[in-house]
A and B are shown apart, each in its own frame.
Chain A
Amino acid sequence: MELERRGVVAPLVVTETFLPLVQAQARARRVQPRLLVVPHPVGGLNEAELAGRIEGAAAELLRMADEARGLS
């Protein structure tokens, strides 16, 4: 979130479980983070499960990235 304050586009990859925490931090810092939410957990996943998480979030990331860059 510090990065966004300095003008860097910084999407945060966060699991559902940690979402409320991240949102509270954002409120405290008065910033509106770009959030890429993936299902919990991430730790302890095998390769196939991890690939699924990546697959699930990729489209949203590209959309977010294009939008930030002004391509969409």
Chain B
Amino acid sequence: MSAVVDLPGVTEESWQEEAYRRGWGDGLPLVAPTPARVAAALAALHGIDLELGPLPPSGLVPTRESFAANAVMAGCRPADLPVVLAAVRALQAPEYNLHGVLATTHPCAPMVVVNGPVRAELGINSGGNCLGQGTRANAVIGRAVQLVATHVGGARPGVMDRATQGGPAKYTFCFGENEEESPFPPFSVRRGFAPGQSVVTVAATEGPHNVNDHGGTTAEDLLLTIAGTMAQPGSNNVYVKGPHFLVLGPEHAATFARDGWTADAVRDALWERARIPVSRVSEANQRQFEDWGVVPDGDAYTVSTGPEMLHVLVAGGAGKHSAWIPSFGATAAVSRAVPSRPVDRA
């Protein structure tokens, strides 16, 4: 099978049908990855090496062309490719556990968080409705990452992707951190990257779970609500542990900052306070947890293994909402710098 296929009798109009018939895509309309579009997309990589390895479960390594074809199909503009590439590289880190993520019955999706100047360059939304619809860059970058994994990795829903129900985040899940309105240093900087550097962080997560607190006026008030939202017995983070994310809306974040809280302080407090009373877990499930080596800390279960497992960031616009994003558990937050054009040698 070659990298370029002729689809005889197929036109741009009938292409959608043809793509669905071949089992390509995610159910939404796709841009046909013609060689010309793929070449234009690849040009934006300026000769940057993909540096990609085999994708499970197929074990195939994407070529430059097939990588770019997926970005094109997702609707990416050429300039979006470096961000997609950084995200796919991050998915391949062993600690991300792509194999487990693709094959699991859990509804996790590749969440993509973007920091740095590339957000403005590409128009990646980190403000109002950034976790929702309506922004091209967010929509197509998240979608492209998922398509590469599905197509080249071969994790087709129902065949290799064994999700019991899946979740809407599996269509696309990409947003920027609202560094401009965050009282904390950028998430990427707290993870060791230089200020001003464009960075992508991925993890296999559920879609966001809203934390609504309109009444609270202090950090303590908010912590009570957030901790209560996180302390639920049905998430993978209770027994598989692993990373989870608190995406504070800027107004909630401002309340914490005004009361003198840093991001780490928020995280530490939530580790102490987000506890699941044993009484809220059935005895059968308690036994199952125990089989897996998970025992309560006193009379309550913890969410994950320690405060450092909770990643706190800021995104969104006006309003009194934040989001908690639980994960698959057997995954990690993995960050990669967005590759830039190799320095021209004089």
Q: Residues of A with Cβ closer than 8 Å to B?
A: 17-18, 20-21, 24-25, 27-29
Contacts and interface: CB of A to CB of B under 8 A. Distances in A.
Contacts of A17: 162
Nearest to A30: B59
B162 A25 contact: no
A28 B58 contact: yes
A20 B57 CA distance: 10
B56 interface: yes
Contacts of A20: 159-160
Contacts of B160: 20-21, 24
Contacts of B168: none
A24 B59 CA distance: 8
A3 B99 CA distance: 18
Contacts of A25: 56-57, 59, 99
A17 B60 CA distance: 22
Contacts of A24: 57-58, 154, 160
15 contacts: A18-B162, A20-B159, A21-B103, A21-B160, A24-B57, A24-B154, A25-B57, A25-B59, A27-B59, A28-B54, A28-B57, A28-B58, A28-B59, A28-B60, A29-B59
A40 B54 CA distance: 29
Contacts of A18: 162
Interface in B55-111: 56-60, 99, 103
* Across the A-B interface, the 3 shortest Cβ-Cβ residue pairs: A28-B59, A24-B57, A25-B57
Chain B interface size band reads: 10 to 19
Contacts of B59: 25, 27-29
Secondary structure at chain B's binding surface: helix, strand, loop or mixed? Answer: loop
Interface of B: 54, 56-60, 99, 103, 154, 159-160, 162
Nearest to B59: A28
A49 B250 CA distance: 53
A24 B159 CA distance: 10
Nearest to A20: B159
Most B-side CB within 10 Å, residue of A17, A24, A25, A29: A24
Nearest to B160: A21
Contacts of B162: 17-18, 21
B284 to A, nearest CB: 11
Contacts of A29: 59
A24 B160 CA distance: 8
Contacts of A28: 54, 56-60
